[in-house]
Amino acid sequence: MERVCFRLQVRKDRMAEYVERHKAVWPEMLQALRETGWTNYSIYLDPSDGLLIGYLETPDLEAAKAGMAAREINAKWQADMAPFFEALNGQAPDEGFLRLQEIFYLA
């Protein structure tokens, strides 16, 4: 199982709306994430600067991302979420995140 931690930057002026949107993630999106292997998925937001940290576990991150990329609901969700982020350089949020290196793990 891969443990994946990543970071994105939410625009300061969009943080409150970003939080509200995640109180009601579309059921179809949640189902697609589960079906493609995204487990123990959490996101955290620093309210002082918009730093977003995500964490998930998956058997294979590339396969999980490819599985989501094949879903129409993912394309809609990513397009809806893209305006909330800085520095995506034309990528969707699920492709533009920076994966962080795991340094230590205590099982």
Q: Which residue has the tokens 């397009």?
A: 79
Q: Tally Cβ neighbours within 10 Å of residue 92.
A: 18
3-state secondary structure (DSSP) of residue 64: helix
d(CA 19, CA 47): 10
22 counts as catalytic: yes
The active-site residue out of 22, 34, 76, 99 is 22
Please give the positions annotated as active site: 22
